[in-house]
Structure 1
Amino acid sequence: MKRRDFIQKTAASSAFLGLTGFSLSSFKSEKVKHITILHTNDVHSYIDPFPADHPRNPGMGGVAKRAAIIEAIRKENKNVVLLDAGDIFQGTPYFNYYGGELEFKLMNMMGYETVTIGNHDFDNGIDGLLSQMPNANFDFVSSNYDFKNTVLDGHVKPYKISYVDGVKIGVFGLGIELQGLVDKKNYKETVYNDPIETATDMARILKQEQKCDLVICLSHIGFKYKEEPNKVCDILLAKKTKDIDLIIGGHTHTFLDKPVIEKNLDGKEVLINQVGCYGLNLGRIDFYLTSDKEIASQGKSIIV
Structure 2
Amino acid sequence: MNRRHFIKQTALAGSAVLSSSVVGASVLNTQSIPEETQLTILHTNDVHSRLEPFPMDGSRNQGLGGVAARASLIQLIRAENPHTLLVDAGDIFQGTPYFNLYKGEPEIKAMSKMGYDAVTMGNHDFDAGIENFANQLQHARFPVVISNYDFANTPMEYNYKPYTIIQKGKQRIGILGVGIELEGLVPKNLYGNTVYKDPIVAANETAEILRQKKCDLIICLSHLGDKYGDNKVSDEVLAKESRNVDLIIGGHTHRFFDQPRKYKNKDGGDILVNQMGWGGIQMGRLDYNFSETKRKKSPKAHTVVMIRKPSE
Range of TM-score over shorter length: 0.7 to 0.9
Aligned partner of 1:239 in structure 2 is 240
Distance 1:296 1:89 in 2: 32
Contact 2:288 2:296 in 1 (8 A): no
Aligned partner of 2:22 in structure 1 is none
Aligned partner of 2:50 in structure 1 is 46
Contact 1:142 1:175 in 2 (8 A): yes
**Aligned residue among 93, 107, 110 for 2:111:** 107
Helix, strand or coil at the partner of 2:209: helix
Helix, strand or coil at the partner of 2:304: strand
Question: 1:33 Cα shift?
Answer: 1.5
Note the residue ranges of structure 1 that are not aligned, 5 or more in a row.
Answer: 1-28
Which structure would you say has the larger Rg?
2
**Aligned residue among 300, 304, 309 for 1:301:** 304
Correspondence 1:187-266 to 2 at 5 A? 187-207=191-211, 209-226=212-229, 228=230, 230-266=231-267
Distance 2:106 2:218 in 1: 30
Contact 2:249 2:274 in 1 (8 A): yes
Question: 1:170 Cα shift?
Answer: 0.4
Question: 1:30 Cα shift?
Answer: 6.9
Greater relative contact order, per chain length (Cα 8 Å cut-off, separation 6+): 1
Distance 1:206 1:285 in 2: 21
Distance 2:75 2:50 in 1: 19
Q: Give the residue type in structure 2 aligned to 1:92.
A: T
Shift in alpha-carbon separation, 1:196–1:68, aligned structure 2, 3 A: same
Q: Give the residue type in structure 1 aligned to 2:194.
A: T
Contact 2:220 2:247 in 1 (8 A): yes
Q: CA RMSD in A?
A: 1.1
Q: What's the TM-score, normalizing by structure 2?
A: 0.86
Tell me the number of residue pairs that the alignment of Structure 1 and Structure 2 aligns: 273
Aligned partner of 1:5 in structure 2 is none
Correspondence 1:116-131 to 2 at 5 A? 116-131=120-135
Q: What's the TM-score, normalizing by structure 1?
A: 0.88
- Identical-residue share of aligned pairs (%): 52
Contact 1:289 1:296 in 2 (8 A): no
After superposition, the C-alpha distances for 1:63-106 in whole angstroms (9 at most, x for unaligned) are 11111111110111010110000000000000011111100111
Question: 1:108 Cα shift?
Answer: 1.1
